[in-house]
Chain A
Amino acid sequence: MPLDINNLVELKPNPNIAAFSSGDTVRVSAKVVEGDKERLQAFEGVVIRVRHQGISSNFTVRRIGAHGVGVERTFLFYSPRLEKVETLRQGKVRRAKLYYLRGLTGKKARLKEKIVSKRNNQS
């Protein structure tokens, strides 16, 4: 049987990654190497894109840093350096890639919270 490039490498989902989608506010804990020490670093912001590409799957989180400067970080889903992802708030958005947020600042860059019914939430 010929080998298929798309499922060549076994994917081991990280149990500490909560389900989330574009528009959600998440806190990502990733391992950072400083000198010869390793520590956890948290990054909190809005998910502006999720790319499903097998082992290379990744998502980008955007937050507004000091002095109103936008900071974006891209994380790989299957990286052993990705420790934990928590969903803090679900945003109500109408598209999958929220690149338009890059052009917005202040109050315009806010997203409405998605109202999730209790029944749906529990299942």
Chain B
Amino acid sequence: MISGLMGRKIGMTQVFTPQGLVEPVTAIEAGPCVVAQVKREAKEGYNAVQLAFDPVKRLNSPLKGHLKKLGLFRHLREFPVADSTPVEVGQVVDVSIFKEGDVVDVIGVSKGRGFAGAVKRHHFAGGPKTHGQSDRHRAPGSIGSTTTPGRVFKGLRMAGHMGHRRVTVQGLKVVQVEPQRNLLLVRGAVPGATNGLLLVRKSIKGK
């Protein structure tokens, strides 16, 4: 059984439960993905499938050769499979691998925030707003002592690049699955911007 696939974030909306409660959901256009390569313990040293997603018109020659006659796709990602799973190159994986009530993990690239200060990046409080302060309003404060230790400790939270990194959100509930439209609704928010690439997999922690 292939445990995940790729998708595109559509955006967030709401759905009503039969009880009339509102559930905040993220819509994901998930799949269809094509199996591009099967990796086996005997040959590659581990078991995985490489899936291809999002058809494109042009692609460079090495990738065309790799995909052979499967079509041209923008994204290739690997998903682990069990040793015994029968998988063939060219096999299509779609959202029907999930059903309502499943718990999934969603992986994406978070929105880039650029070079962000310590207040935004680490929720520092900043300096006092009044009492004669100048240039201290969003300053990070002291970053260490004096001659002892005479250096700044590694890992100290400071300003720097924020966002645009791989983020995994675990344990999201599947609210709706529509294989005809390749539509997947999961409860809650998901990393990244609209149209961003997402990996959706069965939750590794289970229910």
B29 proximity list for chain A (CB < 8 A): 2-3
User: In the complex, are the beta carbons of B15 and A55 less than 8 A apart?
Assistant: yes
Closest to B29 in A: A3
Are A80 and B13 in contact, CB atoms less than 8 angstroms apart? no
Shortest C-beta distance, A97 to chain B (Å), equals 22
- Best-buried of B13, B22, B29 by chain A (most CB within 10 Å): B13
A56 part of interface (Cβ distance < 8 Å): yes
- Write the B166-181 contact mask toward A (1 if CB under 8 angstroms, else 0): 0000000000000001
Q: Which residues of chain A are near B22, meaning CB under 8 Å?
A: 76, 79
Q: Contacts A3-B27, A3-B29, A3-B183 hold; do A8 and B13 have CB atoms under 8 A apart?
A: yes
| CB of B18 within 8 Å of the partner chain | yes
A78 to B15, CA, bound (A): 10
Tell me which of A8, A55, A56, A76 has the highest count of chain B C-beta atoms within 10 A of its own C-beta: A8
Q: With A3-B29, A56-B13 given, is the CB distance from A8 to B183 under 8 Å?
A: yes
Closest to A81 in B: B20
**Residues of chain A contacted by B194 (CB below 8 angstroms):** 5
Per the bound structure, the CA–CA distance linking A101 and B103 in Å amounts to: 47
| Interface residues in B1-26 (C-beta closer than 8 Å to A) | 10-16, 18, 20, 22
A8 vs B12: C-alpha distance in the bound complex, in angstroms? 10
Interface residues contributed by chain B, number (CB under 8 Å): 16
CB-contact partner of B13 in A2, A9, A81, under 8 A:
A9
B contact face: mostly helix, strand, loop, or mixed: strand
Q: Which of B56-100 contact A (CB under 8 A)?
A: none
User: Per-residue 0/1 for A49-65: is the Cβ within 8 Å of any B Cβ (1 yes, 0 no)?
Assistant: 00000111000000000
* Chain A interface, DSSP helix/strand/loop, else mixed: loop
Asked whether, in the complex, the Cβ of B183 is within 8 Å of the Cβ of A78, the reply is no
Least CB distance from B105 to A in Å reads 22
Specify which chain A residues have a CB less than 8 angstroms from the CB of B16 in the assembled complex: 55, 78-80
Contact partners of B27 in chain A: CB under 8 A: 3, 5, 8
Output the nearest chain A residue to B183 by Cβ-Cβ distance: A3
Within 8 Å CB of A84, what residues of B? none
- A8's nearest neighbour on chain B, judged by CB, is B27
Closest chain-A Cβ to B30's Cβ sits at a distance in Å of: 10
Give bound CA distance, A108 to B27, whole Å: 46
Which one of B13, B20, B182 contacts A55 once the chains associate, using CB atoms below 8 Å? Answer: B13
Known: A8-B27, A79-B20, A81-B20. A3 touches B13 (CB 8 A): no
The residue on A at minimum CB distance from B18 is: A80
The answer to the question of A27 belonging to the interface, with a C-beta cut-off of 8 Å to chain B, is no
| Residues of chain B whose beta carbon lies under 8 Å from any beta carbon of chain A | 10-16, 18, 20, 22, 27, 29, 181-183, 194
Interface residues of A (CB under 8 A from B): 2-5, 8-9, 31, 54-56, 76, 78-81
Given contacts A2-B10, A55-B13, A56-B14, 17 further A-B contacts (CB under 8 A): A3-B27, A3-B29, A3-B181, A3-B182, A3-B183, A4-B10, A5-B10, A5-B12, A8-B183, A9-B14, A9-B15, A54-B13, A55-B14, A55-B16, A79-B16, A79-B20, A79-B22
